[in-house]
Structure 1
Amino acid sequence: MKKIVFFAVIMAAFAFVAPNNPLTKKERKDAIDLLKSTENDLLQEVKGLSEAQLKYKPAPDRWSVEECVIHIATTEQMLWQATDAGIKQTANPEKRSEIKMTDEQIVKGVEDRSTKRQTSDNLKPENSPFKSMSEALASLKSSREKLTSYVKSTSDDLRDHVLTMPFGSLDSYQMILFIAAHNGRHTLQIKEVKADPGFPKS
């Protein structure tokens, strides 16, 4: 009888241990869909472009298609390194009150091209370790495959790992959305370059 009571106490104790809070099915699907769609949109926009088209700049202070792709890959690498480092730190749910944006607001805000922003010097194409679009695309495809696989299978509590970034506080899940949306933002920029009257026909 004592053994039964002891076993019941142990089971009750385990029942009160807080479980991991992995992503919901909807959160996983939303992030994966955004990661895949933004990558596919980018690849479609740059497919078959000539060297002249890749390097065309609508103005001296605007980026070419190639420079946009290099910036996307460079920034994605940096953002994921920061996110991964945050996930490996102790959870800090007490910082959730510092988050001021919903998932939807983050995606919409990052992709909104009506507000122009200056990037930091280390993320400018001329300072990137990638020296060509092919190098940048290879990195992007590899990192995106790994990130998508991670989102599919992770049991990490992404919501309770909050990062303080120059643009505000986001949880780790929102950082993944930010990565995908940033890709989408500059794919729109590529479309603007291609729509410029001086864009080479071939």
Structure 2
Amino acid sequence: MKKLLFPLAIVLFFGFTKNPGTQLDPKDKEWIMKHLTESREHMKQVLDGLSDEQLDYKPDPTSWSIAENVEHLALTEKMFIESVHKSVADGPNPSLKDSLVFQDDQIMPMVADRSQKVKTSEPFEPSGQYGSTEEALAALLAIRQELMEYVETTEDDLRNRYAQLPFGTVDAAQLIVFIAGHMERHVLQMEEVIEDEDFPQM
């Protein structure tokens, strides 16, 4: 009987326990979801009640309007989520762990910092691809919802998946917070438009 019980115990142990380090840590998940949620809600708050005239207003010919910022976010967020899925599909690469260029708490402030201006590449320049701001916003919110649902349900070890950004290596958890920071950066840009002295009043 003992001979039968020992292999059964082995099966039960390995059948009902998960290998350590193969899932996203709950604290990491909470950290990611906090920034994804807060950046989305900040954007919705800024956009709430704006007229077409206000959405299309530009402080000067070289600036983006609020509507153009929304379109840019829709275009880039789609690309970013593809990068997340690619990093997962590429599989774990522990050798890159020492190549990370930022601590977690540096990601949001660094990306959202409006004192450093960065010109986007041509594919992500707003050009009216969505037809209207409402359509661009709907697409953006759908993409963000997809990403948030992925984070909530994934069993992928995002700390052991990596992506290369222009400034260096990030893990997939940091990449997702980078996405949140990128949205926050452009929401701050929208607020700068609203604060312009010639911004149309209701």
TM-score when normalising by structure 2 = 0.90
Deviation at 1:5, TM superposition (A): 5.7
- Within a 5 Å distance, the mapping from 1:43-82 to structure 2 comes to 43-82=44-83
Give 2:152's aligned amino acid: K
Q: Partners of 2:172 and 2:156 in 1: how far apart?
A: 10
Residue-by-residue CA offset, 1:55-108 (whole Å, 9 max, x unaligned): 111111110000011111111110111111111122112112211101111111
Are residues 85 and 129 of structure 1, via their aligned partners in 2, closer, same or farther at CA, if it must alter by over 3 Å? farther
Task: Give the 5 Å matches for 1:187-198.
Answer: 187-198=187-198
Query: CA distance change for structure 1 residues 3 and 163 in 2, over 3 Å: closer, same or farther?
Result: same
Percent identity between matched residues is 36
**Cα pair 1:74 1:130 within 8 Å, conserved:** no
SS in 1 for 2:120: coil
Residue 34 (1) aligns with residue 35 (2): yes
TM superposition shift of 1:49: 1.0
Q: Are 1:93 and 1:162, in contact at CA under 8 Å, matched by a contact in 2? A: no
Show the 5 A alignment for 1:132-143.
132-143=132-143
Could you list the runs of 5+ residues in structure 1 that have no partner in the other structure? none
> In the TM superposition, what is the alpha-carbon distance from 1:164 to its structure 2 partner?
1.2
Residue aligning to 2:184: 184
SS at match of 1:62: coil
1:107 and 2:101 are equivalent in the alignment: no
Q: How far apart are the structure 2 equivalents of 1:55 and 1:199? A: 10
Q: Does 1:144 align with 2:124?
A: no
- C-alpha displacement of 1:115: 0.8
> How many correspondences in the alignment?
201
Partner of 1:93: 94
- The corresponding residue for 1:170 is 170
Instruction: State the alpha-carbon separation in 1 of the partners of residues 114 and 13 from structure 2.
Output: 54
Question: What is the letter of the counterpart of residue 200 of structure 2?
Answer: P
Moved over 2 A (4+): 1-15, 17-21, 128-132
Q: Name the CA distance, whole Å, in 2 between partners of 1:138 and 1:92.
A: 35
One-letter amino acid of the structure 1 residue matched with residue 151 of structure 2: V
1:107-136 Cα distance to aligned partner (Å, 9 max, x none): 11001111111111111112x632321111
**2: CA distance, partners of 1:129 / 1:3:** 66
Shift in Å, 1:175: 0.9
Partners of 2:74 and 2:195 in 1: CA distance: 23
**For 2:52 and 2:10, how far apart are their aligned partners in 1?**
71
TM-score scaled by length of structure 1: 0.90
Partner Cα distance (1:12, 1:38) in 2? 42
Deviation at 1:13, TM superposition (A): 8.3
How far is the alpha carbon of 1:12 from its aligned partner? Answer: 8.5
